[in-house]
Amino acid sequence: MVLTQIHDYDLAWWLFGPPRRVTATGGHLSNLEIEVDDTVDARLEGGAAPVRIRQTFAERPPRRTIRVTGDGGCVTVDLLTGRVEATAPRIASALTFADYQRNHMFMDEARNFLACMAGEEPPMTPLEDGIEVLKLALAVKEAIRTGRVVETT
């Protein structure tokens, strides 16, 4: 699951910087007939803020959200519905991007890749960032396997 849903780690790394320590639990805990772990609960520490990533293929109905919480309020992004909610003491607002076609981001990535291969554009995401996020994902897998804290630096 960690590698099939690696963009969750991309977002955490991009928003909060590289963590220094990872702890994680998980495994193949459901009756789903898949060949990867279906549940992960990872904690990333040592970046700009502690981050918790919970992933599961078993949740029904499926849900993909990002929630950032601080003393000034909370922002929740629903990646499946295109809804963004912000709350603060005595204030709440929401935006919905109902017309946004989720497939557009994948098409934009493919166009950028082809333009890079033709020498027409630089990559939207540098290779070095991808390497660092892959190292992070592998650290999460190691933490699940060993049950230990994994240092990432």
- What pLDDT is attached to residue 45? 96
Q: Which of 118, 140, 115, 151 is nearest to 37 (CA)?
A: 140
**Would 94 be classed as within a structural domain?**
yes
By CB atoms closer than 10 A (0-12, 13-18, 19+), residue 107 is: exposed
- What pLDDT is attached to residue 146? 96
Q: Encode the chain (153 residues) as per-residue pLDDT tens digits.
A: 899 999 999 999 999 999 999 999 998 888 889 888 899 999 999 989 999 999 999 888 888 899 999 888 999 988 888 888 998 877 778 878 777 787 888 899 999 999 999 999 999 988 999 999 999 999 999 999 999 999 997
Contact 2, 141 (CB under 8 A): yes
- What pLDDT is attached to residue 89? 79
In the chain, how many domains are there? 1
- What pLDDT is attached to residue 118? 97
**Would 2 be classed as within a structural domain?**
no
For the chain, where are the E strands, in sequence order? 21-27, 39-45, 51-56, 65-70, 73-78, 83-88, 91-96, 150-151
| DSSP tag of 110 | H
pTM (2 d.p.) = 0.85
- What pLDDT is attached to residue 49? 92
**Would 1 be classed as within a structural domain?**
no
Sheet containing 65-70, strands listed edge to edge, beginning at the edge strand earlier in sequence: 65-70, 73-78, 83-88, 91-96
Give the domain range for residue 100: 7-151
Supply the CATH number for residue 41's domain. 3.30.360.10
**Would 72 be classed as within a structural domain?**
yes
Say how far apart CA 37 and CA 144 lie, in whole Å: 10
**Would 120 be classed as within a structural domain?**
yes
- What pLDDT is attached to residue 2? 93
**Would 78 be classed as within a structural domain?**
yes
Region of residue 6 (phi > 0: left; psi between -120 and 50: alpha; otherwise: beta): alpha
Sheet containing 39-45, strands listed edge to edge, beginning at the edge strand earlier in sequence: 51-56, 39-45, 21-27, 150-151
Q: How many CB atoms lie within 10 A of CB 124?
A: 13
